[in-house]
Amino acid sequence: MPYISVSVSIFKPKLHSLSLSLLMEELVPSSSEPLSPQTLASFRSFIINPSTPQSKISSIFETLTRSLQLTPDSLVLNLLSELASRHSNLSHLVFDSVRSNALLSSESIRLAAESLDALASISNTDPTLSTAIDELDDRLFVSLCFGPSVSVRSWLLRNAERFRIGPYLLLTLFLGFTKDPYPYVRKIALDGLVGVSKSGIIEDRSMINGCYCRAIELLGDMEDQVRSAAIRTVSAWGLILVASNLETKLYWSDDLFVKLCSMGRDMSMVVRVEAFDALGKINLVSEDILLQTLSKRVLAITKEKRSLGQCPAEQFEILASNVAGVLVHGLEDEFYEVRKSACHSLRTLTIISAEFAGEALNLLMDVLNDDSMFVRLEALETMLHMATCGHLKVQGTHMHMFLGTLLDSNTLIRSATRKILKLVKLPNIELFRLSFDSLIENLEKHPQDEADIFSVLFHTGCNHGKFVVSTINEASEEIDQASEGKLGFDSARVAALLVLAISAPLSHGEHVCSIPPRIFSYAVTLLGRISRALTDIMDQNALLAYLSQCSISTTFSATELNIRRGEPCLPVANIEIPNDTSNEIDGSTRTSSQQEKDGASKLQSWTMREPLELAAPLGEFQVEVRDEVMKPINLILAKVKDIWPSIHSGFTNEVLRTLRNFKEELATFTSDSLGTIGAVAFTLQYLQVIKQLAKVWEHFLPAKKLCSSGLGELDLILGKLDMRLRELRSRFTGLSMEQELQILELVLLTCTLRLCKVEICCHFATLKKLSTTVSRVESILKSANIEPTIFISEVGKLLCLNEMSSSEASCNPFMFKELLKHFSLSQFVLCGRLNQIKAELTIPDNDSENPLPFVSRLPVGIPCDITLHNTSNENKLWLRMSMDDESTQFVFLDLNLFGSSDEVRKFTYVAPFYKTPNAISFTLRVCMGMECLFEDVLSVKKYGGPERELTYLCQEREVHLSMISEH
């Protein structure tokens, strides 16, 4: 193509030198001919250049429109839609021009389709055109679909949603095109049917039935892709059909189930996976059909009843052979994808029938021998589901396989098995012993599992008190021997026995009498190890109290102690086994965090109090300056106290305005550097708290009914309030006891507010928080010898009352509402020096232009410049790194490694980020947070994250990363 290359080389220098008028002059006379590609290219560069003057754009638009009128062309169309997207002021004009010139007048189907595309994308960018696209005639779309071009047809069908075609018309179209001779079109039509089913608009029974039956016909299609799309369609419409009528529910559910089963033996892996996925969505099937899926032979009971569904006799054989053994085949499929899907489908199916669950369990136990880790894990998870639904009945024959997984070399498998063991009810002592021995073996081979194993032992112990007692009594000699002399309990077995023993008093029976009290005192020597394992039940203090009580007296009630039993229960909700192996990387971080736990338990009694640092080293002058700042701050704080009545009576808007003024006033002090920064920051924070409190209070006013008092809103504000209070408590050092007391009072108030609203959930956690706060308050009152406010003493009284009475009374919101009357805001006086813990985090030399290099799937180091203010080595700092998909990784910052405990420390830390995605580039949001040590409600963040809530010390930073190119 010599001609083009020549013309381009001529044109290029021209383009730069030409003015618009020249260009236009050149173009206008020749406009009867199609625009040359070069011209179009130059237009495009004008369009995408933001500095092109508007007049030029308009004239380009005119030229393009004229060209479209004369010779419709897809390149011109593209340019026009680009023009519309970049210059929204022209989008209406472009829309009209495309519609009248290309869409309606065009004879080429392809061009018409392209102009439809252009119109849809223009209306996407300009919301004012969304009605215009609605006004486009559906008939046009349909007639295009009926054109001879297959590619246009499939494109249109795939994009039908963009053109807002009415659902009934769409349904008809899709349904019709399931007959298309082109398999690709059939597949798209089926997918479209699935889409329509999701809209939920179609309610006509015969329509639903029609779609269902048509999809069933396509289950026999020659093409794999069509068959798998047909399965999705059958499933989607079948479920609607099932739900549409209560009377025929079972009939259609059976029918759907049998249809899907018939695809379980398809030759294509994709189809089989789809079939089992779909089977897992059915939650109602006749039991005889279900049982038949587990036997390749046609069962005698099925034969006798001949009632497979309610089918007539002549079809019985075929039906039975369709269903027979489908799940068995699925579970022993060649492809792990299919096996996994089959395992998954059992989750819902085992809920339907207990007998089926029993049979399925036999199979599942065998799946534990599968060669794919994914499948084994899926099988275990399914068992866990069964256990939570109470359908897991283990028998002796299962035990070899099941307990064998405790020795699996894979951590995930072992931990999944243990989770099941926690829930399982063992029928006899032999199995109990067998499980115990296997756990010991697990402990010996994989000592890193200790905490989890102890936890399992404790839970199983609670569930099987009788077995524990007899086991311990037999083994007590062994324990005694181990305790003689050194009291070492180095043997894992003895330690495990001790854990088992101390669980007995918590089981339902009165077995505690039979456990020798000395065993409990032995257990005290393992306090650290045991309490680490039982973090979900009690903390170390509670455990110690429990053990010492048990070792002295044998009669006590567990409720006296602070033990979380009887709570909805055992960590079922927390069970989440991640599927990807990448979590194994976290194992390393986890072990480090386990070591941390030891430290943390020591810190349980750690208080916020720091020796009051007075401004002794400051000179006279400085003190004066300080006072000059402190005075107005205290004045503001006094005013805050005064606005409490306004809050109380609901003048929220006025209050908020006043608070804003205070904030502005405070902002003038920030330039100072003489130790008042902390005070100013504190006051700002305090104002924030009051602001949130005012907002919350609005919801508790009796007279005023808020029209939009959505529950979510209140929950949100309460959450904010919690966060602010947390920051107030944890980010400032140097608070006096009185000051801390005042903050704690606010915490108590927040808890009370939460408890007043029945609708707000997590009562238990809140109650728990309330009680720990009260105990903290009481200890401060005692040591500082301060009179409690009325509110505090009332809260204390109510709490005592609650603990004495049954747990139901604790949830009585009216009693808490009464409490609110006693509260009034006391004045906060700042005197001493306050220090704010804060951090500055920067990632040097990094922005979107200069990304950090990384290799996908390999860890990458993020160099962070960190400046910390007022941190001590006890603070537990974490770097939180999250990606756009919300996956988050935490890295623990061991402060002991970064210089002394100075007021300010500066260092560079290279934070490892492990889960780099398979992408060319990505952004990471990095932020630094501190664990609130007083927060004893553990947020169970697994795999190496912080155990407690974090308060964030700095602004989130964005880190840009991009993949190292191959060469």
Residues 282-341 close enough to bind another protein by CB under 8 A: 296-297, 309-312, 315, 317-319, 321-322, 324-325, 328-329, 331-336
State in angstroms the smallest separation of the CB of 146 from another protein: 5
State in angstroms the smallest separation of the CB of 165 from another protein: 16
Interface pick for another protein out of 66, 164, 187, 214 (rule CB under 8 A): 214
Q: SS3 for 926?
A: strand
Provide DSSP, 127-196: GGGHHHHHHS-HHHHHHHHTSS-HHHHHHHHHTGGGGT--HHHHHHHHHHHTT-SSHHHHHHHHHHHHHH
Answer yes or no whether residue 171 interacts with another protein by CB under 8 A.
no
Beta-sheet pairing, 838-842 with 860-869: antiparallel
Among 642, 636, 625, 697, which residue's Cα sits nearest to residue 664?
A: 636
Dihedral (Cα; 317, 320, 322, 326), 10-degree rounding = -150
Among 443, 384, 413, which residue's Cα sits nearest to residue 584?
A: 413
Specify the stretch interacting with another protein by CB under 8 A; choose among 38-46, 251-259, 479-487, 627-635. Answer: 251-259
Answer yes or no whether residue 850 interacts with another protein by CB under 8 A.
no
Query: 442 to 461, contacts with another protein by CB under 8 A?
Result: 445
Beta-carbon-side half-sphere exposure of residue 842 (alpha carbons within 13 Å): 8
Residues that contact another protein, how many (by CB under 8 A): 73
CB atoms within 10 A of CB 828: 21
Interface pick for another protein out of 119, 278, 285, 363 (rule CB under 8 A): 363
Specify the stretch interacting with another protein by CB under 8 A; choose among 361-369, 636-644, 730-738, 771-779. Answer: 361-369
Query: 786 to 805, contacts with another protein by CB under 8 A?
Result: none
Interface pick for another protein out of 34, 210, 912, 917 (rule CB under 8 A): 210
State in angstroms the smallest separation of the CB of 287 from another protein: 16
State in angstroms the smallest separation of the CB of 126 from another protein: 33
Q: SS3 for 520?
A: helix
**In terms of CB distance, is 382 or 562 closer to another protein?**
382
Interface pick for another protein out of 111, 116, 216, 927 (rule CB under 8 A): 216
User: CB–CB of 818/712 below 8 Å?
Assistant: no
Specify the stretch interacting with another protein by CB under 8 A; choose among 22-30, 279-287, 358-366, 793-801. Answer: 358-366
What burial class does residue 30 get, using C-beta atoms within 10 Å of its C-beta: 0-12 exposed, 13-18 middle, 19+ buried? exposed
Partner residues linked to 391 by β-bridges: none
User: CB–CB of 186/218 below 8 Å?
Assistant: yes
What burial class does residue 244 get, using C-beta atoms within 10 Å of its C-beta: 0-12 exposed, 13-18 middle, 19+ buried? middle
State in angstroms the smallest separation of the CB of 264 from another protein: 10
Interface pick for another protein out of 136, 170, 219, 834 (rule CB under 8 A): 219
State in angstroms the smallest separation of the CB of 44 from another protein: 35
AA identity, residue 632:
P
The two tokens of residue 491 are 């043997």
Dihedral (CA of 778, 780, 784, 787) sign: negative
Interface pick for another protein out of 146, 306, 654, 920 (rule CB under 8 A): 146
**CA 942 – CA 353 distance, rounded (Å):** 33
Dihedral (CA of 768, 774, 778, 779) sign: positive
Interface pick for another protein out of 162, 265, 433, 942 (rule CB under 8 A): 265
Interface pick for another protein out of 11, 40, 52, 147 (rule CB under 8 A): 147
Answer yes or no whether residue 529 interacts with another protein by CB under 8 A.
no
State in angstroms the smallest separation of the CB of 383 from another protein: 15
**In terms of CB distance, is 335 or 606 closer to another protein?**
335
State in angstroms the smallest separation of the CB of 446 from another protein: 10
**In terms of CB distance, is 267 or 703 closer to another protein?**
267
Query: 366 to 425, contacts with another protein by CB under 8 A?
Result: 366-367, 369, 371-372, 400-401, 404, 407-410
**In terms of CB distance, is 379 or 687 closer to another protein?**
379
Specify the stretch interacting with another protein by CB under 8 A; choose among 215-223, 499-507, 566-574, 900-908. Answer: 215-223
Measured CA distances, 739 to 632, 664, 721, 787 (Å): 18, 24, 18, 14
User: CB–CB of 735/834 below 8 Å?
Assistant: yes
State in angstroms the smallest separation of the CB of 370 from another protein: 8
Tokens 């602010």 found at: 724
**In terms of CB distance, is 296 or 425 closer to another protein?**
296
What residues contact 519, with CB distance under 8 A and at least 6 apart? 472, 476, 479, 498, 501, 502
State in angstroms the smallest separation of the CB of 943 from another protein: 23
Q: SS3 for 862?
A: strand
Specify the stretch interacting with another protein by CB under 8 A; choose among 253-261, 550-558, 775-783, 819-827. Answer: 253-261
Specify the stretch interacting with another protein by CB under 8 A; choose among 111-119, 247-255, 449-457, 855-863. Answer: 247-255
Interface pick for another protein out of 177, 682, 686, 934 (rule CB under 8 A): 177
Specify the stretch interacting with another protein by CB under 8 A; choose among 144-152, 472-480, 825-833, 946-954. Answer: 144-152
State in angstroms the smallest separation of the CB of 209 from another protein: 6
User: CB–CB of 260/235 below 8 Å?
Assistant: yes
**In terms of CB distance, is 73 or 221 closer to another protein?**
221
**CA 904 – CA 509 distance, rounded (Å):** 57
Answer yes or no whether residue 541 interacts with another protein by CB under 8 A.
no
Answer yes or no whether residue 172 interacts with another protein by CB under 8 A.
yes
Specify the stretch interacting with another protein by CB under 8 A; choose among 359-367, 785-793, 892-900, 931-939. Answer: 359-367
Answer yes or no whether residue 175 interacts with another protein by CB under 8 A.
yes
Dihedral (CA of 648, 649, 650, 653) sign: negative
Answer yes or no whether residue 887 interacts with another protein by CB under 8 A.
no
